[in-house]
Amino acid sequence: MYRIGTFACQYGRWQSPGKTTWKVGGTFTVWPGQTQDLGRFKLCINTYRIDGREMALTQLIPTDAPDADGNMNWRAYNGTQYSAYYMGIHCFI
pTM score, whole prediction: 0.75
User: What pLDDT score does 19 carry?
Assistant: 65
Question: What does the pLDDT look like over 35-84, one tens digit per residue?
Answer: 999 999 999 998 876 655 555 688 999 999 999 988 999 999 998 877 77
Strand partners, 92: 24, 43
Q: Please state, in angstroms and as integers, the Cα–Cα distance from residue 4 to each residue in 16, 34, 54, 60, 88, following that order.
A: 10, 29, 19, 20, 18
Give the CA dihedral 10, 15, 20, 24, nearest 10 degrees.
Answer: -70
User: What pLDDT score does 58 carry?
Assistant: 86
* pLDDT above 50 for 87: yes
